[in-house]
């Protein structure tokens, strides 16, 4: 499916990174709210279409970074503007650009105040998110990584729910605190390597002790972002209070940055430390799967339920990554994509309920299916996808992750199984309640089923649920070479001590 | 030609003096001051490449001084725009206020060129004394003379710090027998490790620590910020700190390339300033006091550059403090415009700012997040250069303490944002902005963003100018 790139010098990644910013700048001059919505939709859709060309031109046979651009930025500090993508980041870039038009669509009626500022924040977010996945210079990465916090905090704090201020500040302080040590690690690496270039830092075989410190600094930052088990407390607050689009961006893209950080930085830059800390991270992942599953069972707020299910799903992603084998990492990457698709869709669905009922209470929304059959159909598919029903996308991802996990430790996987069962329990419980309810359902007879806009919002995600579920090969194919290369970097210089750990 | 900016300022001060002789001539005085300021920017740009030694080696015009003069000139324009019509200054002294402002700036402009400690002290005083007078020029409110209290505190601390500095300078003079800094560098080198030299140098630095508000010379900061009018506080918070850092470069480089005692001293002061400023800022309710304590913390960050004791560190410190000038002024613009007839602004008065004045809210967001060290603003690049300079010299513990402090600080900066963006305005009125303020807001934001996104040329300029601070100074003395 690859065609030679007709114009290899075209800076397509820069275009993708900066065109949302330009669109945001232009949006500041539009006065009509209606026009603003259309403008944001137009821009995000156009960017999504442009980004699709990456898929056609990407060469999956090589693990090299592609579409690379490199320019000096601050020569005295050896900081350059360098972007490029490999198979893993390609998928995440596409996920980001494809999710954004849906975010605009799902805020069409939901956001009624300060529409201009909202759309500007969304577009700035898109710039920063694409930038994070493309950056090949550590400072550039850090700039995008941090710059994202401001619009996200505003999204939660201005357009959020009743406890929005608490949630916004908690989110900001948590993630910012995590990333300050990342900066120290970056500077320490810079002083060893002599440049901020990310590819230069990979496969360097730093001293073991140095690697461990760097790994820990990375780990705190990325684990907060994922979020891994003991660092997850900001997530439910942020998700519950954020507007629908904010939740979708948060779940679909922001959480992926943590796992992306592990894949891009922790594994190839500190391979020795990765093997040293691998067992601990694996058990934390299992803890996250169990914790997320059991907590989600107890929720009566729909958004909280989905938020805790995210903790569990991301536990699968980290489990796969730190299994350190092909199945595990490919599965983890697929879990990341699937979680973006499925959880994003679930948040949109909860947003649709909220727009109609002005509550997210599970009891209050019982029996919606009778009056909103189309909606119930969509919700059913996404719920099944979330609990990894065979034939849907999550099944492939979680299956691969568990297969990878088995090669590391059978005990580990067995311990994770109750989490899978819990996922089935809470998702089916939610689906049963919302679609059918009991005999004493609240009166929903006045509710309208999905309109065209809402169908258009959910339909692309539905396509991906089945596409990845039934024919995942193209997605695995595109990242295979990159994953192999990553594993060579991580396991190639494997110290004998690490083998003993298995 | 090389002396053009100073001449211009002195001429302007003289003109302002004559203007201020008449009754209620604030409007004319402002026009004159603004004209001088704009001319000063032009003159500084013209003289950017000048090299000269004047007054028998006591005054040196080089790239280092000229870059900083340009910064002062820009800051002067910004502060004049920020002051508006000086609503909070007593009517009868408004014209004089402009005179003192101009004199203070002229002191700063001369300060960066002085290479003899005698002229340096005089320039330092010239920049400080007008400030001592500008603080009590605020209007009285509710019969409380809070501005007088601040002025007394300011002048007492200032004089005491100056006394310590002069005492330290006497040690340095006694050791080297010269007042010329370039000669002193040479003569001090063999004896710099002696306790006498270290004590002398440390005491000399005290006077500058006072201006920069480094712990333990910080006590005046929050009180003076609170008691002085918003315009005066913005001047004290911005320009005079740039001046202090510039002179610190001259004195700290006396201890280069390596001096364990001075490094230890600077490290401890940096750590103490950061923790003290950030922890106490956490509980502030008055916005100016908050900026005062955050200023102490930022002084601590700037000290990190000096701990490195090399050019990269000095360049980082200067870059940081220039960025700080823009960031803190952005916050002060908001304070000036939000305050009702010049009163102090409590945090909750910011409520709903994003509805009452979107431009001010954006300015505040940019300013506050820049202070917090978020990319892509100047504060982040500044911290990055500072930390990498310090880490290159192996000060890992200091760097980690600095980033921990960044994490602490983010909370109170967010509290400001919370008030401005997340709270409802209630019955608070919308804020109308005049054109100069709008221009000012845009200029400040552009400055913060430009320093953060494209720092390459500025950093290179500062670094190359620093090369001339140490080495050619000796050339000067040989002439």
Helix axes B260-281, B195-212, angle to 10 degrees: 30
Range of lowest pLDDT (A422-436, B48-62, B391-405): B48-62
Q: E strands of A172-322, at which residues?
A: none
Model confidence at B7, pLDDT cuts 50, 70, 90, reads very high
Q: CB neighbours of B393 closer than 8 A, spacing ≥ 6?
A: B307, B308, B309, B310, B313
C-alpha B83/C-alpha B65 separation (Å) is 26
- Structure confidence at residue B181 (pLDDT): 87
Residue with tokens 């725009």: B81
Question: What distance in Å separates the CA atoms of residue B128 and residue B149, rounded to the nearest whole number?
Answer: 17
**CA–CA dist A385, A423 (Å, integer):** 11
Per-residue pLDDT tens digits for B205-253: 998 999 999 988 888 999 999 989 999 999 999 999 999 999 999 888 8
Mutation pick from A18, A78, A116, A150 vs chain B, by most beta carbons of B within 10 Å, is A150
With beta carbons under 8 A apart, name residues in chain B contacting A243. none
For A418, phi and psi rounded to 5 degrees?
Answer: -55, -30
CB contact under 8 A, A176 and B410: yes
B131 Cα to chain A: minimum distance (Å): 37
CA distance A292 to B70: 58
Contact A74 B455 (CB under 8 A): yes
Distance between CA atoms of B66 and B60, rounded to whole angstroms?
Answer: 10
Nearest CB to A139; choose among B384, B423, B460: B384
Least CB–CB distance from B456: residue in A74, A150, A154: A74
Three-state SS sequence of A19-79: HHHHHHHHHCCCCCHHHHHHHHHHHHHHHHHHHHHHHHHCCCCCCCCEEEEEEEEEHHHCE
Structure tokens at A6: 């007709």
Among left, alpha and beta (phi > 0; psi -120 to 50; other), residue A437 is left
Inter-chain contacts counted by CB atoms under 8 A, chains A and B: 92
Tens of pLDDT along B260-296? Answer: 889 999 999 999 999 999 999 999 999 999 999 999 9
- Give the SS3 label for residue A83: strand
Low-confidence ranges of chain A (pLDDT < 50): 1-2, 495-502
Residues of A in contact with B369 (CB under 8 A): 150
Q: Is B407 within 8 Å of chain A by CB?
A: yes
Q: Which of B415, B390, B416 is nearest to B402 (CA)?
A: B390
Please answer whether residues B437 and B84 qualify as being in contact, where contact means their C-beta atoms are separated by less than 8 angstroms: yes
- If you search the block for the tokens 């700037």, which residue do you land on? B302
**What's the distance, Cα to Cα, between the start and end of chain B in Å?**
20
Residue B59 φ then ψ, to 5°:
-140, 125
Neighbours of B151 (CB within 10 A): 23
Q: Which residues pair with A135 in a beta bridge?
A: A83
Q: Is residue B477 predicted with pLDDT exceeding 60? A: no
Cα–Cα distance, A98 to A52 (Å, whole number): 9
**Would you report the helix, strand and coil content of chain B in percent, each value rounded to 5?**
80, 5, 20
CB contact under 8 A, B354 and A158: yes
Phi, psi (deg, nearest 5) at residue A74: -125, 90
CB atoms inside a 10 Å sphere around CB A457: 27
User: How is residue B42 written in tokens?
Assistant: 């032009």
| SS3 call for B124 | helix
Are B263 and B398 a contacting pair, CB within 8 Å? no
Contacts of B375 in chain A (CB under 8 A): 142-144, 146-147
Q: Is A401:A331 a contact under the CB 8 Å cutoff?
A: yes
pLDDT on residue B470: 55
Q: What is the C-alpha radius of gyration for chain A, rounded to an integer number of angstroms?
A: 22
Q: What is the pLDDT of residue A3?
A: 52
Cβ-nearest to B460 among A76, A149, A183: A76
Name the residue in chain A with its Cα closest to that of B397: A184
B323-371 residue pLDDT tens: 999 999 999 999 998 887 778 888 888 888 888 888 999 999 999 999 9
Terminal Cα distance for chain A, rounded: 39
Which pLDDT belongs to residue B472?
Answer: 47
Which residue, chain included where needed, has tokens 């360097």? A204
Interface test with chain A among B278, B313, B375, B455, by most A beta carbons within 10 Å = B375
C-alpha to C-alpha distance for A53 and A150, rounded to whole angstroms:
30
Res. B473: pLDDT tops 70? no
For chain A, domain boundaries: 12-501
- Phi and psi (nearest 5°) for B164? -60, -40
DSSP classification of residue B114: B
Residue of B83 and B236 predicted with greater confidence: B236
Confidence band for B474, pLDDT divided at 50, 70 and 90:
very low
């Amino acid at each position: 499916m690859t065609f030679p790139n007709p114009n290899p010098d075209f800076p397509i990644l820069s275009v993708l990174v900066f065109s949302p910013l330009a669109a945001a700048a232009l949006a500041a001059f539009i006065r009509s709210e209606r026009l603003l919505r259309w403008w944001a939709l137009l821009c995000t859709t156009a960017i999504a279409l442009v980004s699709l060309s990456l898929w056609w031109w990407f060469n999956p046979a090589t693990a090299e970074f592609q579409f690379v651009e490199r320019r000096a930025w601050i020569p005295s500090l050896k900081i350059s503007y360098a972007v490029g993508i490999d198979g893993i980041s390609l998928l995440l870039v596409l996920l980001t650009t494809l999710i954004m038009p849906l975010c605009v669509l799902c805020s069409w009626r939901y956001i009624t105040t300060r529409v201009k500022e909202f759309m500007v924040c969304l577009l700035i977010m898109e710039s920063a998110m694409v930038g994070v996945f493309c950056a090949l210079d550590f400072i550039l990465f850090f700039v995008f990584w941090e710059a994202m916090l401001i619009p996200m905090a505003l999204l939660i704090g201005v357009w959020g729910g009743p406890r929005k201020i608490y949630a916004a500040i908690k989110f900001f302080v948590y993630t910012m605190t995590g990333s300050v040590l990342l900066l120290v690690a970056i500077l320490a690496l810079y002083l060893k390597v002599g440049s901020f270039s990310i590819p230069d830092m990979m496969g360097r075989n730093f001293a073991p002790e140095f690697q461990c410190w760097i790994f820990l600094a990375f780990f705190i930052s990325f684990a907060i972002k994922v979020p891994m088990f003991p660092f997850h407390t900001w997530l439910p607050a942020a998700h519950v209070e954020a507007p629908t689009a904010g939740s979708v961006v948060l779940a679909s893209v922001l959480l992926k940055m943590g796992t992306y950080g592990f894949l891009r930085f922790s594994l190839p830059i500190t391979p020795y430390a990765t093997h040293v800390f691998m067992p601990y991270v694996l058990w934390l992942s299992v803890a996250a799967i169990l914790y997320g599953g059991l907590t989600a069972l107890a929720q009566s707020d729909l958004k909280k339920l989905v938020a805790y299910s995210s903790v569990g799903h991301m536990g699968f992603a980290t489990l796969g990554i730190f299994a350190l084998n092909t199945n595990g990492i490919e599965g983890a990457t697929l879990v990341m994509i699937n979680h973006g698709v499925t959880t994003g869709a679930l948040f949109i669905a909860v947003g649709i309920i909220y727009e109609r009922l002005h509550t997210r209470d599970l009891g209050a929304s019982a029996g919606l299916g009778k009056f909103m059959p189309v909606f119930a159909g969509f919700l059913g598919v996404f719920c099944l996808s979330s609990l990894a029903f065979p034939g849907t996308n999550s099944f492939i991802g979680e299956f691969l992750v568990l297969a990878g996990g088995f090669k590391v430790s059978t005990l580990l996987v067995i311990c994770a199984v109750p989490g899978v069962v819990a996922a089935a329990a809470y998702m089916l419980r939610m689906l049963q309640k919302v679609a059918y309810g009991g005999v004493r359902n609240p009166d929903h007879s006045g509710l309208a089923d999905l309109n065209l806009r809402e169908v258009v919002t959910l339909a692309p995600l539905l396509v991906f649920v089945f596409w990845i579920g039934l024919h995942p090969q193209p997605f695995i194919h595109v990242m295979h070479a990159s994953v192999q290369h990553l594993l060579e970097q991580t396991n190639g210089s494997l110290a004998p001590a690490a083998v003993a750990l298995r | 030609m090389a002396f053009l900016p100073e001449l211009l300022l002195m001429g302007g001060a003289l003109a302002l003096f004559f203007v201020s002789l008449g009754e209620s001539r604030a409007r004319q005085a402002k026009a004159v001051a603004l004209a001088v300021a704009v001319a000063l920017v032009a003159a500084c740009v013209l003289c950017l490449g000048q090299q000269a030694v004047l007054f028998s080696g006591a005054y040196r015009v080089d790239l280092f001084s000229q870059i900083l003069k340009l910064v002062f000139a820009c800051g002067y324009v910004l502060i004049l725009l920020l002051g508006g019509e000086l609503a909070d200054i007593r009517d009868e002294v408004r014209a004089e206020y402009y005179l003192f402002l101009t004199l203070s700036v002229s002191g700063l402009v001369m300060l960066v060129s002085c290479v003899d400690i005698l002229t340096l002290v005089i320039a330092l005083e010239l920049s400080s004394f007008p400030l001592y007078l500008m603080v009590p020029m605020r209007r009285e409110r509710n019969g409380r003379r809070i501005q007088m209290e601040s002025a007394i505190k300011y002048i007492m601390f200032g004089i005491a710090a100056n006394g310590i500095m002069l005492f330290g300078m006497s040690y340095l003079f006694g050791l080297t027998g010269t007042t010329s800094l370039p000669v002193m560098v040479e003569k001090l080198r063999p004896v710099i490790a002696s306790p006498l030299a270290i004590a002398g140098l440390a005491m000399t630095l005290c006077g500058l620590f006072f201006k920069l508000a480094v712990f333990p010379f910080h006590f005046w900061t929050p009180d003076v910020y609170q008691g002085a009018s918003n315009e005066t506080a913005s001047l004290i918070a911005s320009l005079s700190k740039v001046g202090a850092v510039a002179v610190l470069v001259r004195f700290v480089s006396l201890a280069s390339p390596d001096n364990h005692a001075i490094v230890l001293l600077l490290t401890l002061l940096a750590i103490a300033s950061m923790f003290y400023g950030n922890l106490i800022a956490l509980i502030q309710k008055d916005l100016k006091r908050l900026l005062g304590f955050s200023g102490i913390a930022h002084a601590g960050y700037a000290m990190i550059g000096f701990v490195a004791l090399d050019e990269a560190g000095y360049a980082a410190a200067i870059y940081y403090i220039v960025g700080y000038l823009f960031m803190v002024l952005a916050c002060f613009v908001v304070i000036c415009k939000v305050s009702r007839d010049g009163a102090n602004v409590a945090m909750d008065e910011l409520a709903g700012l994003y509805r009452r004045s979107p431009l001010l809210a954006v300015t505040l967001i940019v300013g506050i997040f820049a202070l917090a060290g978020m990319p892509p603003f100047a504060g982040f690049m500044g911290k990055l250069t500072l930390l990498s300079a310090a880490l290159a010299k192996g000060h890992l513990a200091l760097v980690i303490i600095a980033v921990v402090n960044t994490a602490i600080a983010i909370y109170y900066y967010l509290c400001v944002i919370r008030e401005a963006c997340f709270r409802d305005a209630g019955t608070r009125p919308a804020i109308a902005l005049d054109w100069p303020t709008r221009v000012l807001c845009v200029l400040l934001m552009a400055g913060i963003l430009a320093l953060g996104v494209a720092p390459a040329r500025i950093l290179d300029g500062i670094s190359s100018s620093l090369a001339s601070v140490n080495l050619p100074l000796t050339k000067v003395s040989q002439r």
